[in-house]
A = this chain, B = another copy of it.
Amino acid sequence: MPHAESSLVPAEIETKSQFWSHVYDQLEPLLDGQRNWVSNLANTSALIYNALLAFPAHFGTETDKAVNWCGFYIESSHFPKSTDLNSENKQLLLGPFCGKPACQFINVTPNKARGVCAAAYMDAKTKLVPDVEVYPGHIACDGETKSEIVCPLVSGHQVLGVLDLDCLALAGFDEEDQKGLEKIAELVVKACDW
C-alpha cells in the first residue's frame, strides 16, 4: 500500500475513540523498521494531520473546525549539533510538523518559560486549552488558532519534547483526543532512539 493511504479514514469511523484507535493502528506499520526520530516524527505528524482533515465528523477541512497545525517540539540536545545552540537557556526546538510555518524554539528555562508547550513539557502532563486567548503567556505562532492540546513525550523520568495540535474551533479537543494522542505519544517514544 502506498504510504499516503495510511491517512485515509474509512466512512464507518464515527466516534473520536474509533478514530484514534484507527490512527494508532495505521501508525505502527508506518514507524516499523526505522528508529531515527526525525523521519518517524515527520510521518507521525503527517498521518495525524491528514487523518484529522479526512474526519469531517469532528474536524475535517472546514475553516471553522479544522486542525491547522500538528507537530513536535523536541528538547535541543536530541538534535544534530549546530553552532548556534544557546547553552544558557534550555530550549525545545521546532521538529517535523504539518501546518503553516511556526516558531523556531520554545524557552523551557525555569522562570523564563511561557506558553502551552512549555507548560506541558515542564509539568510532564497534557494541557488541554479550550481557548488560547485566555491562556496566560500564550505564544501565537498563528493568530487563527483558537484551541490547543499539547502532550508531553515521556521516556521514564525524562521528557523528550511535546506533540502539539492547534484547532480553528474553540474547545476543538476533548478528553477522547487526549486519550488518543497520549497513546500515540507513547508509541512514538518507544519507536525511536533518543
Q: Interface on A for B, CB 8 Å cutoff?
A: 2-7, 30, 33-39, 42-43, 46-47, 50, 71, 78-85, 93-105, 140-144, 192-193
Contacts of A46 in B (CB 8 A): 97-102
Contacts of A4 in B (CB 8 A): 99-102, 141-144
CB of A176, distance to nearest CB on chain B (Å): 23
Q: B39 contacts A7, CB within 8 Å?
A: no
Closest to A49 in B: B98
Contacts of A47 in B (CB 8 A): 101
**Additional pairs, 12, CB under 8 Å, beyond known A36-B80, A46-B98:** A3-B102, A4-B99, A5-B143, A33-B84, A36-B93, A39-B104, A43-B94, A46-B100, A50-B101, A84-B193, A98-B98, A98-B99
Q: B142 contacts A193, CB within 8 Å?
A: no
List 9 A-B pairs, minimum CB-CB distance, nearest first: A4-B142, A4-B100, A36-B82, A39-B94, A35-B82, A82-B193, A35-B84, A3-B101, A96-B96
Contacts of A83 in B (CB 8 A): 35, 193
